[in-house]
Structure 1
């Protein structure tokens, strides 16, 4: 028994004719007859009386008909709901990322997504990079956003944002001269650094490769606090460009050009490679990967 057989049964019943049902369904009469015979065989009951040029329902057919109507009605309703879900997904979706990404990258992305798909509830899980990877691997969140490179064969990655780490200082700092400076000159001034993190390892390696020992002013576990201290003239520091775009635009911070230093940064959407993404996740992926360029950088004229 299948839905085509049920539709055929109803058309024969309503038209009281195999030939008229065939015309309505754009099938041949032998095909209609074969479907009805197959349906009757699967049910173990005759559904139609055929004779004298008339087609009428048997007692079993009269009992069967309202159930067929209800079944097809429910089937059509299911299709409508699923089609509507494809056009306008609903449900919930959780993304894990560190504080910096949650504050400066995800808001623009979430705003775009919510405008297109308002019925999906979005949640941000703010945690450090290693924990984000764990949550995605354990399928406790739908997506993570982390910096690349990432070597984890169980995860898929897609770049959604690119900028760079830049050295920033308050406009009053002596290094702000308008000229390109050397990393050696930077090492002689109070440097504010993040505590244990992938970025800290990168910066330590940068100075080590130049045989320089930086003058560490403070070590902080918050990018926001680090930025505020730089603005208060407590030192200089490297931060993602997207994090300081507004302050650079308003000239509360200045980007210093450091000779032979370019530190690109790529953020990627990550998800478990063995997971079948529901419709809401597919739509989020489409929005998130639509453009690498951060809207915030465009808004502040820094891209």
Structure 2
């Protein structure tokens, strides 16, 4: 039994004629007869009485008719649901990023995406940079958001957020009021630094190039904790500008300008080159980058050819 047989059965019942049903369904009358005969063999009973130029339902046919109608209704519902899925993304996405990015950068993108695609569930996996890259490569996360540069050729990389690291000090600190602080001045004060990672390596290189030995007050594995300790007067440190904007406006910390210390902090969304994105994934990529992901372009080219 298949859906075509059920549609044929219902059309014959409606038209009360094999020939009229054939016209409606754009098939030949022998094809109609063959489908009904096949259906009756499956059911094990005759569904129509044929004779005197009339086609009427048997008692079994009348019992069978509502079940056939229900099956076709369900088929139509399934077809509509799938078509709707094609038009409007659904499902879930997992995005990996570190705490700082998850707290201060992703919420804006998430809000814009959910406004347009409320049926897609967004989930954040908090992980440091190397783990985020690993998760995307292992297909554990759909996307990652990490700081540039990213050199792995297996990844597609697109800039989505431009920022910079700034020197942050407590409100009463001696460096407040400086218009152009130098690295040598920074080295004279207790410095709170990341315990490890790309930014720690960058800072170490800056001091090494200037042949300076900074006074490391504490090594921390959380930028949020580093910020809280600066507010508490425990030292000074470098943080992404977006992380301290609200505290700076509230007077809890002070951002000290420096022409000598330039540390960019540009963030990119990363995904595997060879991974075909779902419609939800394509939509998220477009919202964050305002571009179409290369996998979608490749898929369209392949399909058209």
TM > 0.5 between the two?
yes
Residue matched to 1:109: 109
Q: Which runs of 5+ in 2 are unaligned?
A: 42-52, 292-305
Q: How many angstroms does 1:128 deviate by?
A: 1.3
Q: Identify if the C-alpha distance between structure 1 residues 239 and 82 changes in structure 2 by more than 3 Å, giving closer, same or farther.
A: same
Question: What residue number does 2:250 align with?
Answer: 250
Cα offset, 1:85, TM superposition: 2.2
Structure 1 match to 2:204: 204
Check whether the contact 1:94–1:141 (CA below 8 A) recurs between aligned residues. yes
**Which aligned pairs between 1:46-85 and structure 2 lie closer than 5 A?**
73-85=73-85
**What per-residue deviation string (whole Å, max 9, x for no partner) do you get for residues 194-239 of structure 1?**
1111110111112222332222222111111111111122222110
Match of 2:297 in 1: none
Please state whether the residue corresponding to 2:266 is helix, strand or coil: strand
Secondary structure, aligned partner of 2:89? coil
1:235 match: 235
Partner of 1:48: none
Distance of aligned partners of 1:35 and 1:233 in 2 relative to their CA distance in 1, 3 Å threshold: farther
Deviating above 4 A after TM superposition, structure 1's stretches of 4 or more consecutive aligned residues are 2-23, 31-40, 53-57, 64-75
Q: Which residue of 2 aligns with 1:216?
A: 216
Distance 1:199 1:68, change over 3 A: same
Moved more, 14-23 or 138-147: 14-23
Using structure 1 for the length normalisation, give the TM-score: 0.73
List aligned pairs for 1:258-297, cutoff 5 A. Answer: 258-290=258-290
Q: Distance in 1 between matches of 2:100 and 2:148?
A: 15
Q: CA deviation at 1:252?
A: 1.4
Map of 1:186 onto structure 2: 186
Deviates more, 1:184-193 or 1:13-22: 13-22
Measured after TM superposition, the shift of residue 174 of structure 1 is 0.7
Given the superposition, is the C-alpha separation of residues 22 and 266 from structure 1 closer, same or farther in structure 2, using an over 3 Å criterion? Answer: farther
Sort the Cα spacing of 1:156 and 1:55 in 2 relative to 1 into closer, same or farther, 3 A. farther
Moved more, 100-109 or 237-246: 100-109
Q: 1:8 touches 1:32 (CA, 8 Å); kept in 2?
A: no
**CA-CA distance at 1:81 after TM superposition:** 0.7
| 1:149 lines up with 2:149 in the alignment | yes
- Once the 2 structures are TM-superposed, how far is the Cα of residue 267 of structure 1 from its aligned partner? 1.3
Evaluate the alpha carbon distance shift between residue 32 and residue 188 of structure 1 in structure 2; reply closer, same or farther with a 3 A threshold: farther
In the alignment of these two chains, the number of paired residues is 287
For residues 213 and 113 of structure 1, the distance between their equivalents in structure 2, rounded to whole angstroms, comes to: 46
Q: Following superposition of structure 1 onto structure 2, how do residues 7-22 of structure 1 map, counting pairs within 5 Å?
A: none
CA 1:102–1:35: 2 relative to 1, 3 Å: farther
Classify 1:11/1:217 alpha carbon distance in 2 versus 1 (closer, same or farther; 3 Å).
Answer: same
Report the secondary structure of 2:122's partner residue. strand
Conserved 8 A contact 2:109-2:287:
yes
The DSSP-based 3-state class of the residue aligned with 2:163 is strand
Distance 1:216 1:112 in 2: 40
Q: Which residue of 2 aligns with 1:97?
A: 97
Deviation at 1:173, TM superposition (A): 0.9
Aligned counterpart, 2:172:
172
Q: CA RMSD in A?
A: 3.8
Q: TM-score, normalised by structure 2?
A: 0.73
CA distance in 2, matches of 1:92, 1:133: 20
- Give the gaps of 5 or more residues in structure 1: 46-52, 292-303
- Separation in 2 of the partners of 1:68 and 1:32? 22
Distance 2:276 2:3 in 1: 27
- After superposition, the Cα gap between the structure-2 partners of 1:271 and 1:65, relative to the gap in structure 1 and judged at 3 Å, is farther
Cα distance in 2, alignment partners of residues 14 and 246 from structure 1:
70
